[in-house]
Amino acid sequence: MDFRISEPVVGPRSEDILPHSVTSAVKIVVVGGFGVGKTTLVGSVSEIRPLTTEETMTQASAGVDDLAGIERKTETTVAMDFGRITLSEELVLYLFGTPGQQRFWFLWNGLFQGSLGAVVLIDTRRLEDSFDVMERLEERGTPFVVALNSFPDAPSYPVSEIRTALDIPESVPVFDCDARDRTSSRDALLTLIRYLHSLTTTTPEPR
């Protein structure tokens, strides 16, 4: 399966026009803990101007949102991020980023409706924030891949150690990603799509 993600269309608002040749659409979500880079990833890879619902953090979040390691963060997603990527002349991908704080997780039900799978974005400085995220995906039966977002001061661990620490099955792809870089974000999405494809073509082992 050879999917491509095209470069953004150049021109005033022309990027918002969906080609008439598109006949199918798929939906995936980007999830992760608070401040792991979900909004950044959606914005870096979307071919249209991304829709974001970021709001300035206020004193009301003090003691509620853990800013350890992300002290410079001043805004947070309160509903969702939305982007679009053309995979081929006939197929388009709709990308939804979820809010990271658990108090907004009630919005997940709507965002996950009709989705094929998820990219779990992880900050290796705060691995513990990923446990509840992946547990919710497993409870939902949502297939996912794990992208280790690159932060300048983040420690680097072998993938085997990440798998052990987070109890990630060997079959689930785990890889490095830079959410700021379009090519890297694109590759993360393609990894999920290829993983989903492999799940539909794998022959079940005889019992």
Q: Residues 155-206: pLDDT tens digits?
A: 889 999 999 999 999 999 999 999 999 999 999 999 999 999 999 886 555 5
pLDDT at 106: 60
Q: Sorting pLDDT into bands at 50, 70 and 90, what band is 81? A: confident
> In a 3-state reduction of DSSP, which class is residue 121?
strand
What is the structure's pLDDT at 189? 94
- Distance, in Å, from the CA atom of 41 to the CA atom of 196, rounded to the nearest integer, reads 20
9, pLDDT greater than 50:
no
Q: Across 17-31, 50-64, 90-104, which has the greatest mean pLDDT?
A: 17-31
Please determine, for residue 2, whether its predicted confidence score (pLDDT) is greater than 70: no
CA distance 40 to 178: 9
Query: Which CATH number applies to 14-200?
Result: 3.40.50.300
CA–CA dist 11, 49 (Å, integer): 12
Helix (H) or strand (E) holding 109: helix 108-112
What are 24's two structure tokens?
């199918």
Rounded to whole angstroms, the Cα distance separating 5 from 157 reads 29
Strand partners, 55: 76
